[in-house]
A and B are shown apart, each in its own frame.
Chain A
């Protein structure tokens, strides 16, 4: 599709990674390192997909293979209809925004942005026109003659983005682009970045280890660990319907509780947790048997103080955080973490206080037992 809403023309294309494998041979005769272990990923035209995971999970390697800086050991990469697996990085027309911005220190802001156009032999007049368009889009007019060293971090970030989009690339790649900014600016730039990406409609792949960032900007979040995709889904499904223990634990805080299935009927399961019965909707990825074990994910905000609650516990730790209070509460032999956003109504509990808790049962999700997802190769 052609995006005509903005003054920069882009043609959105699909991206397809098939059986992508990247093995780094070991140097000391040990096992090879499977940086990216046989992954499949489809990115629809105009989508922003985030690769999220701990360091060493293979997300950056995947991104660099798409850019052409790493060659896959096997598998293929398609951008649109073209197989680019063996196309050199300077012929791919994918633009990358680097973690360190990688601005050319000896060139002015204007020349940094114009660089890609000049390299691609765009006629001189067009270079100036297009560069100015992007400069005004990114609000960089007053900095255009400065050197990168004379810019603040946020300004450098904008130059880096401007330099990437000016060539009207098929795909935009982001390698943790906001990790060098302070918290406030990071949030602001995150929203700016998403707005521009949506406005231009450029298919984008975004690498980060910050889950909030991933949630905030993505059409689809891909959680990776040990070179494998753990789950690729919309942000809401990732959070509320995690595939496995890793995804549930990585995205947000989670209390993992072990329960026993008492009864199965329709699409609901009666599960015994801490000696109390709770009714939870069944997830079709999970096979349950009556009297069998099950792992439940309860987020801290699924719990609330309520005099009519089923669970009785004791506060072991109180952390006041302004808009909410975090508690650690011992129930039986287990400890759960909970968040209370209504502390101004019923006060702040002290360590040692006895409390009654209600669990919002409709929110709880079930996980396959470890055995099951080892079988599926997800561990």
Chain B
């Protein structure tokens, strides 16, 4: 591995002070499952690595039926995957977390790391956005909250400034008659990046769609909400024709590229198929 200096700040203030001091030449280490690979492969060449694992409180995971879910930056994909609260109320997120790498990777990889890496194909991002995630961003003398759907600006690029650290993720409590689904499509079942990922978060009132979020992964420079498809479904009874129409609209909203994992045309078609499937599965889970 390329040489770097290593720091273990004991507080958030210390961590952001280090980031400011080494402006642009430092990287934050949490799980390390992306960062260390990128250092080994010389994609990133930080002179300073700042391990935030010694900062107290960042590994908390709390759930409250009114306040919802709140977890710190050090909570791993495996903890989210196996948390009974997450599996019950945020099942799309639990499913997505279980599809990241292997158990060995998920025991280290953090959800916030998946967020900050900002890969267009990251599994946990579509369900987090569908469930209305908000991240807390900490910097010297300041703290701000950003809706996750406004966090990403391009592949690997976010609104995060070099001296800022994401400290927590909150998800609002789910309302009754809700369900969330994530469907990943890849070339193989495990150890795979998504060719297409579709998250649907749905609240029904009888047969009527009270609230729906459709979020697409790996088919645009960032995860995107299919807002036209959502608008089509919202407020109406979700019958087969409407589901098909919404899926078609989601397909038209996707902007995939062709790469080694699939052509743009194939990805678009899979957006249609998986969006319809995810809406149906969400419907079944509510009922």
Is chain B a partner of chain A in the same complex? no
Q: Which residues of B contact A (CB under 8 A)?
A: none
Q: Which residues of A contact B (CB under 8 A)?
A: none
